[in-house]
Amino acid sequence: MRKLPPHTSPTSSTEAIAARIRDAVVEHRLPPGAKLGEVALGEIFGVSRTKVRQALIRLAQEKLVSLQPARGAYVAKPDAREARELFDTRRVIERVLIERFAAGATREQLSSLRQHLQCERQAIAAGDTALRNRLLGEFHVLIAQMVGNQVMTDMLRELVRRSSLATLLVQTPRSASCSSDEHASLIDAVLRRDAIGAVRLMDEHLAHVERDLKLSGLDGEALDLRAAIKV
Amino acid sequence: MRKLPPHTSPTSSTEAIAARIRDAVVEHRLPPGAKLGEVALGEIFGVSRTKVRQALIRLAQEKLVSLQPARGAYVAKPDAREARELFDTRRVIERVLIERFAAGATREQLSSLRQHLQCERQAIAAGDTALRNRLLGEFHVLIAQMVGNQVMTDMLRELVRRSSLATLLVQTPRSASCSSDEHASLIDAVLRRDAIGAVRLMDEHLAHVERDLKLSGLDGEALDLRAAIKV
DNA sequence: AGCCGAAGAATTGTATACAGTCAATTGGGG
DNA sequence: CCCCAATTGACTGTATACAATTCTTCGGCT
């Protein structure tokens, strides 16, 4: 007997739903405070509330949504303090990462990173802000992956996502381009095996990104869930 | 109108269940690989599978249990690599934490920490291994809390839990006592405002803990779930 | 007109029911 | 006697149904 469709991923359809919502949150298509009704989401994805609920629980644990008892799920609203703490934590981790990367980066890794940089530039040039912001974040996760500590990589990935939510990343194309330039400088420093310089650049880079964040702003009211999620 | 019983926590009854299982996992009452059947757990807690499932999803995201598609939930079995990465990550974070703590610890914080140390010693003397291991871990989280970065604290808490699972923490009373002594040395260094010494001590301490871990071992078969969870 | 209160609607919390998948066991054949 | 295949059993995956709570709206009172 065939099982060609080895049956769609089991618990991973839940992850697929979580991923869709997560992307919408991280890309600011769903603003902080937006209501995430279970039935509404269920209709959008064509599944029951059970599955939606499970996805929301996951996202709540990632601190991307806030579950309010008997009130419902809302996109999380990180405050200024949390934003500061997020970037502080990132600095701690990423300083070490870039230092190690400078010490051990292979030629292939650097070239792969440069390729990623190209993608960033392309997205910036094309004015695709969603893709641009995603790529700017993934740059950092990529370095973590290359360094090779899976645990640290997973943590950083979560931190980067939360950072994106915390900063109403309405980064101007100009500051995005600036970010990308700093990424390039980082690569150069690593190429020179300049660990100290790389660490300094990473510190400055994260400080710049943090400075550009404009917290708070629009309260997530009145919103078309379907439009925000349907990519 | 009264709402004296503000109604038992809403989504937090799920968290209560997760906590019970989590404690059992972290304290090694449930060995890595142990099957966590949904119906069995539901009967133990007197709830339906729905709630158990939600709790298991949370624990899976904390990497304490492994969800296998259509196969069920099992206590996670971190391998040697993951254990190394966990301690590596802890070193990165805790070095910074102890450094900052040495720079800014208040008298009250130090006294509170010394009080905790007393509890550790008491548990060790009493031969209460479960409490002992819990306290030894909480020492590190406590320092994080005192330093004040909530994000970093949460991450460290998770790392500590995972460390406990990864190491088949059958720490001998002797090495536990050793751990506690190193905690005391850390407090002393902070008291002297010796940041450099404190960092060194933390590094050594984590290295010692990591060295004491004996990975693998018994495969979690044949086990009385109820006995393991009912405290 | 404004505020308080109550009934109704909508949404969340939880359990149960059913369908699908995997593991085990039994029966037959080599 | 061993090995393979099909049926049976147990458990997970998902949806639906019901109960409880909250929000809303409408009516009445001050």
Q: What is the pLDDT of residues A150-197, one digit of tens each?
A: 999 999 999 999 999 998 766 677 888 889 999 999 999 999 999 999
Provide the shortest C-alpha distance from residue B122 to chain A (in Å).
33
- Is the minimum CB–CB distance between B5 and chain A shorter than 8 Å? no
* A35-36 β-sheet, strand order: A35-36, A72-75, A65-68
Looking at B5-147, list the stretches that DSSP marks H as alpha helix, in order from N- to C-terminal side.
Answer: 12-26, 38-45, 49-61, 80-104, 107-126, 129-147
CB atoms within 10 A of CB A158: 18
Residues of chain A in contact with residue B93, where contact means CB-CB under 8 angstroms, are 92-93
Let me know: does A47 contact A17? Beta carbons within 8 Å: yes
Q: What is the pLDDT of residue B212?
A: 77
Question: Using the CA of A52, which nucleotide's C1' is the nearest one?
Answer: D14
Q: What is the pLDDT of residue B172?
A: 75
Provide the shortest C-alpha distance from residue A113 to chain B (in Å).
23
Question: Using the CA of A72, which nucleotide's C1' is the nearest one?
Answer: C12
Give the mean model confidence (pLDDT) for residues A102-127: 96
Find the Å distance, CA of residue B1 to C1' of nucleotide D27. 21
Domains within chain B, CATH numbers bracketed: 12-77+218-229 (1.10.10.10), 80-212 (1.20.120.530)
Check pLDDT > 90 for residue B181. yes
Strands B65-68, A72-75: pairing kind:
unpaired
Let me know: does A198 contact A99? Beta carbons within 8 Å: yes
Provide the shortest C-alpha distance from residue B91 to chain A (in Å).
11
Q: Is B207's CB less than 7 Å from nucleic acid strand D?
A: no
Let me know: does A193 contact A103? Beta carbons within 8 Å: yes
Residues of chain A in contact with residue B96, where contact means CB-CB under 8 angstroms, are 92
Q: State the greatest distance between any 2 C-alpha atoms of chain A, in Å, as a whole number.
A: 60
The tens digit of pLDDT for each residue in A31-77 reads 999 999 999 999 999 999 999 999 999 999 999 999 999 999 999 99
Let me know: does B87 contact B140? Beta carbons within 8 Å: no
Let me know: does A89 contact A52? Beta carbons within 8 Å: no
Angle at alpha carbon of residue B159, lines to A79 and B225, rounded to 5°: 115
Contact map slice: A 170-229 vs B, CB within 8 A: none
Let me know: does A70 contact B10? Beta carbons within 8 Å: yes
Interchain CB distance below 8 Å, A88 and B150: no
In whole angstroms, give the CA distance from residue A221 to residue A29: 12
In whole angstroms, give the CA distance from residue B7 to residue B147: 34
Question: Using the CA of B40, which nucleotide's C1' is the nearest one?
Answer: D11
In whole angstroms, give the CA distance from residue B228 to residue A154: 30
Q: What is the pLDDT of residue B215?
A: 63
Residues of chain A in contact with residue B16, where contact means CB-CB under 8 angstroms, are none
B 59-118, residues with C-beta < 7 Å of strand D: 67, 69-73
List the beta bridge partners of residue A66.
Answer: A74
Residues 6+ positions from A193 with CB-CB distance below 8 Å: A102, A103
In whole angstroms, give the CA distance from residue B212 to residue B214: 6
- Is the minimum CB–CB distance between A13 and chain B shorter than 8 Å? no
Give the mean model confidence (pLDDT) for residues B15-39: 95
